[in-house]
A and B are shown apart, each in its own frame.
Chain A
Amino acid sequence: MEQIPLLLDGFASALTPYNLLFVLIGAVLGTAVGVLPGLGSSMAVALLLPITFALDPTAAFIMFAGVYFGGLFGDSTAGILLNTPGQSSAIASTFEGHRMARNGRAAVALATAAIGAFIGGLISTTIVVFFSPVLVTMATEFGPAEYFALAVFAFLAISSVVSESVLRGIGALLLGVALALVGIDGPSGTERYSFGIPNLFDGIDIVVVTVGLLALGEVLHAASRIHRDPSSITLPTGGIARIGKQDFSKALPAWLRGSAFGAPFGMIPAGGAEVPTFLAYGTEKRLADRRQDPEFGKSGSIKGLAAPEAAANATAGTALGTLLALGLPTSATAAILLAAFQQYGMQPGPLLFQRSGELVWTLLASLFIGLVVLLLLNMLLAPVWARLLFIPQHYLYAGITVLAMLGVYATSSSYVDLYLLVGLGVLGFLMRRFGMPLAPLMIGVILGPLAETELRRALAVSEGDPSILVSSPITIGVYIVLVGIVVVSVVQHLRHAREDRRQQAA
């Protein structure tokens, strides 16, 4: 338990007014970029990087950590209130969160999200403090075969739960995989579906897909129905952000389950926070089906929101841990933080704790401080955000459109991205109009390239021998669990079908 005195020292040096100021700046800025569609914490950190040359490293990293966590606190706000998630890590929170908001529980939903993000961050940061050496060995156990097994697992585990119709689900999934194929293929350098347009060589940015399909698509959908459903114009907001005892005890197990999904995924470079959020959402949906929860999928289940929120923030803590202890960036923001360390002449990795121990422990302590600040900030802001819904729809959606366009243009200064954004927005509108689920498409975009690249890496290393895919305890374990899930759902499905038939006969 040598960590405790070190952490206390960290608190001692983090709790200076100067450092606290930067925690606060980071938290506010992170929440702001999280709320706005198209702007993410990775971009905020990248843009802040040059400004921090003048700061001492401790203050700079404390601010960055605040931005990182803040982005994940703020990202679900727009999704919950308006069904326009600003970042891909908030997609899973949007499903049940927006249903809650539509049913007049917007403030409760926002509070659930904030507490979920707090719990997820708290658990994963604690894990980092006490177990970072163990994390490092775990991360190095993962080769391409293990990543591929995880991707297959996530594909099946997620797509079976997020869509009502199998055919439409698979259609949307394939559409997502097709979008992800655009660009230069990493392992071979071949151009795919880029039509010779240089701006497509690096593929379609996930930010463009998320904002186009989900935010802009929703705007177009709302616009198309603006005189048809008067009911959607005014949503009751349900007072201030207070979460009742009953709601709290309902959400608590979901927060913990979500953190359990998020924490391990933060350690491995498997696309950031999206996969565990979907897995957490899928688990809650299964549990709700089994308990015949009347809220899930209808009036909005607090559990279906709590789990993915906690999962998203739990990845951030362990991702920082992996970055510090191994030098392995497992998310876009972590990759930029790695560059930040290098600019200060430090190299995250096995020697960072010895060489810059004081900085590391101050940073870890400030993560805890940052989480508390963010929790307070978001609980206070929740009712303010909820009042966004009182803005007349045409102003509100026009504002979202402008912000979405600005955000996407700011990332790449490319007109091609703007055309893509509009195109994807129309696609998102059409899919909503014709009842195609959007979540499988996003899963395809995120997991498709991961599965493909890792499969090809595994086979390249094994010289084409497929047995490498099942050659380690981790891969075998993942596939066994997968088969178990498939068997259970087939049995459940058959049983339901039989019951339905019996009911029809009766």
Chain B
Amino acid sequence: MQRRTLLHGAFGAAVAVTTGAALASAAGSSGRAEARSTLTLIAPAAPGGGWDGFAREAQQVLRGASIVNNVQVVNIPGAGGTIGLSQFVGQTGSEDTLLVTGGVMVGAIALDEGDTTLADVVPIARLADDFAALVVPADSEIQDLDGFLAAWKENPRGTSIGGGSLGSIDHLMSGRLAQLAGIDPKDLNYIAYSGGGEALNSLLSHTTTAGSSGYNELSDQIEAGTLRALAISSPERLDGIDVPTFTELGVDIAMSNWRGLVAAPGITEEARAEFTAIITEMRESDEWKDTLQRNDWTDSFLTGDDFAQYIADETEQARGIVSDLGL
């Protein structure tokens, strides 16, 4: 009899874990609640991915600083975030839901030529920037960006660049660099990896000539002397980072792996203003400052029409690069 109880207990626990997991991931309640009482953040990525981390950081701050009573994160992963985007566009007028977005989605939209774009949603705010760095292994003959460009022009196909998946900022940056250096973008020998770690390994194993990845993922390797940074994609030098920007080296590249939030189409002006107020309050909280610092994100707060214009510019640039790359 006791064994049976134990067994039932084990099964009960098992069911509880599954149900809990399912609820945590699938809880997407709609309802007409005010955004201040219940807010749903859609992370268009799998749990553990970049946007998921961003959504959960925002969830913590919104809750911790008592800005919103109840914040839920829902994951809709797939295809560079475009699956999440197209489902979100279907939730017309939803005034208690925001979608996490960023540079990767812009690239993914440019690549897959789908019907849904970021023009279909209402921009709320850009919150953080993360910049990519172009690096070579420390024992490479290439010393600086000029050296890299010279080697590249001499042998475009033989100079390979490793980085994140197609459409990522690493890929777009490499394409833009080719455009500006006068190299036919179709000759770009870009080796796509599924993550920064793998791209890093391709450099350390001397598979690729150069690599591009988020600066934060590379900073330790640069500091430890296993990699040499040639340039960083930020518009200006960053505090405490001794790496030249592309612009100061005479190459007009300023790109960022930005992260922001957008709202569903068809919401009222009041709802939009309310979302902006909530996110502004979050950005000004001490908790958010901690979050930025912990994740090494650069604060790049931008709202309203300026943010909409920024998305439009980014989209246009990504489309230009993708079509030049012949994809």
Is B82 a contact of A35 with CB atoms below 8 Å?
no
Query: With contacts A32-B17, A144-B207, A345-B294 known, is A47 near B25, CB below 8 A?
Result: yes
Contact B157 A463 (CB under 8 A): yes
Prevailing SS type, chain A contact patch:
helix
Interface centre among B11, B18, B216, B327 (most CB of A within 10 A): B18
What is the bound-complex CA distance between A141 and B205, given in angstroms?
Answer: 5
Q: Which residue of B lies closest to A335 (CB)?
A: B195
In the complex, chain B residues whose CB is within 8 Å of the CB of A189: 111, 166-167, 327
Report yes or no: A351 in contact with B295, Cβ–Cβ below 8 A: no
Contact across chains for A384 and B160 when beta carbons are under 8 A apart: no
Q: Which B residues are CB-close (under 8 A) to A17? A: none
Q: Which of A46, A139, A385, A403 has the most CB of B within 10 A?
A: A46
Q: Interface digits, A441-468 against B, CB 8 Å rule (1 contact, 0 not)?
A: 0000000000000000100110100000
Closest to A146 in B: B205
> In angstroms, how far is the closest chain A Cβ from the Cβ of B22?
4
A410 and B22 in contact, given A184-B79, A327-B200, A343-B53 (Cβ under 8 angstroms): yes
Given contacts A143-B207, A345-B293, contact A457 B25 (CB under 8 A): no
Assess the A413–B21 pair: CB atoms within 8 A: no
B7 interface residue (CB < 8 Å to A): yes
| Bound Cα distance from A106 to B208, whole angstroms | 50
Mark each residue of chain B from 43 to 73: 1 if its CB lies under 8 Å from any CB of chain A, else 0. 0001111101100110110000000000001
**Binary CB contact string for chain A from 300 to 344 against chain B (1 if under 8 A, 0 otherwise):** 000000000000000000000000001111000001101100111
- Cβ-defined contact, B17 with A33, below 8 A: yes
Q: Distance (Å) between the CB of B84 and the closest chain A CB?
A: 10
Does residue A63 face the partner (Cβ distance < 8 Å to B)? no
Query: Which of A45, A140, A352, A414 has a CB less than 8 Å from the CB of B220?
Result: A352
Decide if B56 touches A49 in the complex (CB within 8 Å).
Answer: yes
| Alpha-carbon distance between A198 and B113 when the two chains are bound, in angstroms | 12
Tell me, rounded to whole Å, the shortest Cβ–Cβ distance linking A264 to chain B: 15
Residues of A within 8 A of B226 (CB): 350
1/0 contact string of B1-23 vs chain A (CB within 8 Å): 00100110011011101110110
Within 8 A of B (CB), among A47-100: 47, 49-50, 53
Nearest CB of A to B2, in Å: 11
User: Max chain A CB contacts within 10 Å: which of B3, B48, B56, B75?
Assistant: B48
Contacts of B191 in A (CB 8 A): 187, 457, 460-461
The residues in B between 204 and 232 inclusive whose CB is less than 8 angstroms from any CB of A are 204-208, 216-217, 219-221, 223-224, 226
Whether the Cβ atoms of A351 and B224 lie closer than 8 Å is: yes
Asked if A39 and B296 make an inter-chain contact with CB atoms under 8 angstroms apart, the answer reads no
Interchain CB contact under 8 A, B197 and A327: yes
Q: Once the chains bind, are A461 and B207 in contact (CB under 8 Å)?
A: yes
Contact yes or no, A143 B206, CB < 8 A: yes
Contact at A413–B205, with CB atoms within 8 Å?
A: no
Q: Is the CB of A349 within 8 A of B224?
A: yes
Interchain nearest-CB distance for B23 vs A (Å) = 8
In chain A, residues 1-57, which have Cβ atoms closer than 8 Å to a Cβ of chain B?
29, 32-33, 35-36, 39, 42-47, 49-50, 53
Instruction: Determine chain B's interface SS by DSSP, over half rule.
Output: helix
A407→B220 contact, CB < 8 A: no
The one of B46, B47, B294 that contacts A343, using a Cβ cutoff of 8 Å:
B294
| B216 near A342: Cβ-Cβ < 8 Å | yes
Does residue A202 face the partner (Cβ distance < 8 Å to B)?
A: yes
B198 within 8 A of A: yes
Q: Is A392 an interface residue (CB 8 A)?
A: no
Q: Does B78 contact A (CB under 8 A)?
A: yes
Is the beta-carbon distance between B18 and A36 smaller than 8 angstroms? yes
Would you call B280 an interface residue if the criterion is a C-beta within 8 Å of the partner chain's C-beta atoms? no
* Contact yes or no, B28 A413, CB < 8 A: yes
| CB of A94 to closest CB in B, whole Å | 19
Q: Are B111 and A46 in contact (CB under 8 A)?
A: no
Residues of A within 8 A of B217 (CB): 327, 342, 347
Given the complex, which residues of B lie within 8 Å of A352, measured CB to CB?
A: 220
Q: Which residues of the partner chain B approach A186 to less than 8 Å between Cβ atoms?
A: 165-166, 192, 194
Q: Is B94 an interface residue (CB 8 A)?
A: no
Contacts of B167 in A (CB 8 A): 189
Determine if A139 and B78 form an interchain contact, defined as CB atoms under 8 angstroms apart: no
**In the assembled complex, how far is the CB of residue B193 from the closest CB belonging to chain A, in whole angstroms?**
8
Q: Check if B205 sits within 8 Å of A140, measured CB to CB.
A: yes
Closest to A53 in B: B60
Question: Quick one: which of B11, B22, B79, B220 contacts A327, CB cutoff 8 A?
Answer: B220
State in angstroms the CA–CA spacing of A363 and B14 once bound together: 27
List, in ascending order, chain A residues with CB within 8 A of B220's CB.
327, 347, 349-352
Determine if B18 and A39 form an interchain contact, defined as CB atoms under 8 angstroms apart: yes
Q: A141-B205, A202-B78, A335-B195 are in contact. Are A343 and B57 (CB under 8 A)?
A: yes
Residues of A within 8 A of B321 (CB): none
Which residues of A sit under 8 angstroms from B82, Cβ to Cβ? Answer: 198, 201
B300 part of interface (Cβ distance < 8 Å): no
Decide: A139 near B201, CB < 8 A? Known: A39-B21, A409-B26, A461-B160.
yes
| CA gap between A198 and B194 in the complex, in Å | 19
| CB of A480 within 8 Å of the partner chain | no
Contact of B46 among A46, A140, A342, A409 (CB under 8 A): A46
Residues of B within 8 A of A342 (CB): 53, 216-217, 295
> A46 to chain B: closest CB distance in Å?
3
Please state if A201 and B78 are interface contacts (CB–CB under 8 Å). yes
Check if B146 is an interface residue, CB within 8 A of chain A: no
Check if A36 sits within 8 Å of B14, measured CB to CB: yes
- Check A201–B112 contact: CB distance below 8 A: yes
A142 at the A/B interface (Cβ < 8 Å)? yes
Highest count of chain A CB atoms <10 Å: which of B56, B157, B220, B226: B220
- Say whether B142 faces chain A, with CB atoms less than 8 Å apart: no
A345 & B3 in contact (Cβ 8 Å cutoff): no
Q: Which residues of A contact B201 (CB under 8 A)?
A: 139-140, 142, 269, 326, 328
- Tell me the A388-436 residues at the B interface (CB within 8 Å): 388, 399, 403, 406-407, 409-414
Contact B47 A46, beta carbon cutoff 8 Å:
yes
Does chain A have a CB within 8 A of B175? no
15 A-B pairs in the complex with CB atoms less than 8 angstroms apart: A44-B21, A46-B52, A49-B48, A50-B56, A140-B204, A143-B202, A184-B79, A186-B165, A202-B77, A327-B200, A329-B197, A349-B221, A349-B224, A351-B220, A413-B25
Given A47-B24, A326-B201, A461-B189, 19 further pairs, Cβ under 8 A: A32-B17, A47-B25, A49-B56, A142-B205, A198-B86, A199-B83, A327-B221, A335-B48, A336-B48, A339-B48, A342-B216, A347-B216, A350-B221, A352-B220, A406-B19, A410-B26, A414-B78, A457-B207, A460-B191
* Shortest beta-carbon contacts, A-B, top 7: A46-B47, A336-B48, A201-B79, A46-B48, A350-B224, A140-B204, A410-B22
